[in-house]
Chains A and B, each alone.
Chain A
Amino acid sequence: MIQVIQILILGIALGGVYALMSSGMTLIFGVMRIVNLAHSAFIVLAAYLAFFVFKTFNIDPIVSMAFTMPVMFLVGVIYYRLLFASRADNPRFADITVLVTFATALVIEGILAFIFTGIYRSTTPTYAKTSINFGPFFIPQSQLYALIISIVLIVGLWMFMRYTRIGNAIRATMQNRNAAQVVGVNVTWISTLSFGIGLAMAGAAGSLLSFVFTFYPAKHIAWIGMIMCLVVLGGMGSLVGALVSSFLLATAAAYVNFYFGAAWSPITFYLSLFLILLFRPQGLFGKKVEG
């Protein structure tokens, strides 16, 4: 019994980071209908940024989020402006963006591999190796911090979307792009901003991952598979869906990991993706949309 609860704790701890990873992707899809396959590559990029700052200036990855998040925000704004802004009306937009973002992921992977080589990296602040015990249970300190920060950021994003004018404009654009434009929302500006926010979330996720997991340039492929499963399961574009499916699948994967072996836990993700496609293609919280 103790073991079952312990696995639940570890699953939930990881779920927070997963939710942060998928929140940016689901936001970007919701607003612009872009399936950002480069999302995990941007996360890895941010992890390398945190790693670089940690190695050269010895700045804690949590502190350096104040640097990685704005940088990734800017990267997002420039990337969207440069490649997608003028093509939002193209009927083949969905197909093109999927392939363009995947190609971007390849470019990022190649450049990172060229600069940092393929060696497994991670940042090692003092809390990375210690655990907190309470009674018979334990939680790695790094995962606890990551969980707390993830939840703070996601709640912050949710409140921003809910209670600010700009947040309302973003949600209006998600619901109906044309109608939002008619009532005076500058959808191009909103899209650019959303892409920036999405990548800022990726930046935060990268900073946190840098001390929770080890990473290498090609790691983004495994992560994008996982994030896609989370986003599709939750319903593309649904922030709440991404949150729920993250905790759901993280705990499920933790149990599979314990009872069947580590190799089978990624399969939990992919199988759940196919099951949801089979029975509810729009996802748990998604609305039926074309594309």
Chain B
Amino acid sequence: MAEELIQVDLKGKEGAIRVRSKVSLWLKRGIPLLILAILALLPVFQIVEGTLNYWIHMLMYVFLYVIMSSSWNIIGGFAGYVSLGHNVFFALGAYFAGMLFLATRISPFISAPVAGLLAMGFGLLFGLIALRTRGSTFIISTIALVLLMAELFDNWKLTGGTNGLALPLIDLPGQFAKIPYYYYLLVVMVLCVVASYFIKHSKFGLALRAISQDETKAEVAGIPTRKYKILAFGLSGLFIGVAGAVWGSYLTYLRPSIFLTVSLGTSIVLNTILGGKGTIAGPVVGTAIMIAVNEFVVAKLGATELNIVVTGLILIFVLLFFPEGIVGSLKARNKLPSFLDWD
């Protein structure tokens, strides 16, 4: 009798655990998918109601920065090589697609993947030079790259100098004009995050993480560190180049002062580190929070000068006290909600 009771009790507990784990699995997969579904359906409301222009714009901003941060994560998070110059890929993609459009009328929507490949090729080339160095010298060389590119594009006649290039508006009524860009960026973002998941869990990703732990040991263990680092740097430019092509056409003007600033390159890093570098969900979480904070500061204080101060202070605080970022710190304390555990 007593044994039976215990057994029933045990069964009940096991069952409860099984049910709970099933529920948590559903939550883990379901919440991100639900959010994705809402994001995919949002433009429908825009078409019907036409009142969501602001939200669509803000979300596109988030998508763009998630693409940049997630890509940066491949070299900066997995391999531990901090680059402050990833917006160069963004500029290259935008200028390539924009100039191609002005010359041949090929839509940036079609040329965007080519722009991505071009950015990747440039990343491989630059990596060949800059990845001979490590640590601080590498970081310096990436900042110098941004400054060099900004000077070049400011003075190059072909790219329109400081005035930049003007692209025509998309041929759609204002209510729908954002929607093609919205979907394009959404798809690229999903691809980018999924790709970063597969890279992290591949042998290549494992090697990158070994490099970030101890490069010398990784090399001794037979990992071709130089080849992998260069490849990771190139790969991290791919999606940013695609996003640049789309974003340039969305903005309809290309200017070095928008694409080639040191602060843009830094905000990519900030978003990733705030979310948690080296994690899959980190760049997404960090970007969403940072953009929300920026919007809040701008709305409340208005002054862009204070916006920089807040950005800087958050960055200092996170770096010194939570270098693992939000996702990383929560995970280390076992408090990460399952729907944010994408690794």
Partner-B contacts on A (CB < 8 A): 29, 33, 35, 37, 83, 87, 92, 94-100, 102-107, 109-111, 113-114, 217, 221-222, 224-225, 228-229, 232, 236, 263-264, 266-267, 270-271, 273-274, 277-278, 281, 290-291
If A225-B144, A228-B144, A263-B155 touch, does A100 touch B309 (CB 8 Å cutoff)? no
Residues in A whose Cβ lies below 8 Å from that of B316: 83, 100, 103-104, 107
CB pair B137–A95 under 8 Å, yes or no, is: no
Q: How far, in Å, is A95 (CB) from chain B's closest CB?
A: 5
Q: How large is the interface on B (under 10, 10 to 19, 20 to 34, 35 or more residues)?
A: 35 or more
CB pair B306–A114 under 8 Å, yes or no, is: yes
CB pair A107–B148 under 8 Å, yes or no, is: no
CB pair A291–B134 under 8 Å, yes or no, is: yes
A113 to B137, CA, bound (A): 29
Residues in B whose Cβ lies below 8 Å from that of A106: 263, 266, 308-309, 311-312, 315
Residues in B whose Cβ lies below 8 Å from that of A225: 143-144, 147
CB pair B309–A229 under 8 Å, yes or no, is: no
Does B290 interact with chain A (Cβ within 8 Å)?
Answer: no
CB pair B136–A270 under 8 Å, yes or no, is: no
Does B133 interact with chain A (Cβ within 8 Å)?
Answer: yes
A281 to B129, CA, bound (A): 10
Give a binary string over B131-162; 1 marks a CB under 8 Å from any A CB, 0 the rest: 01111110111011101100110110000000
- Tell me if B's interface is mostly helix, strand, loop or mixed: helix
If A107-B312, A228-B143 touch, does A277 touch B323 (CB 8 Å cutoff)? no
CB pair B309–A281 under 8 Å, yes or no, is: no
CB pair A110–B140 under 8 Å, yes or no, is: no
Does B293 interact with chain A (Cβ within 8 Å)?
Answer: no
**8 Å CB contact of B148 from A100, A113, A271:** A271
A95 to B272, CA, bound (A): 14
**8 Å CB contact of B141 from A100, A271, A273:** A273
Known: A99-B315, A106-B312, A114-B309. 6 other contacts (CB 8 A): A35-B140, A98-B139, A99-B273, A110-B306, A111-B305, A277-B130
- A–B complex contacts, Cβ < 8 Å, 28 sampled: A29-B136, A35-B136, A37-B143, A83-B316, A87-B320, A94-B136, A97-B136, A100-B319, A103-B270, A103-B312, A103-B313, A104-B312, A104-B316, A107-B312, A111-B309, A114-B303, A114-B305, A221-B147, A221-B262, A222-B147, A225-B144, A232-B141, A266-B147, A270-B144, A277-B133, A281-B137, A291-B134, A291-B136
Residues in A whose Cβ lies below 8 Å from that of B88: none
Name the residue in A113, A114, A277 with the highest tally of chain B Cβ atoms < 10 Å from its Cβ. Answer: A277
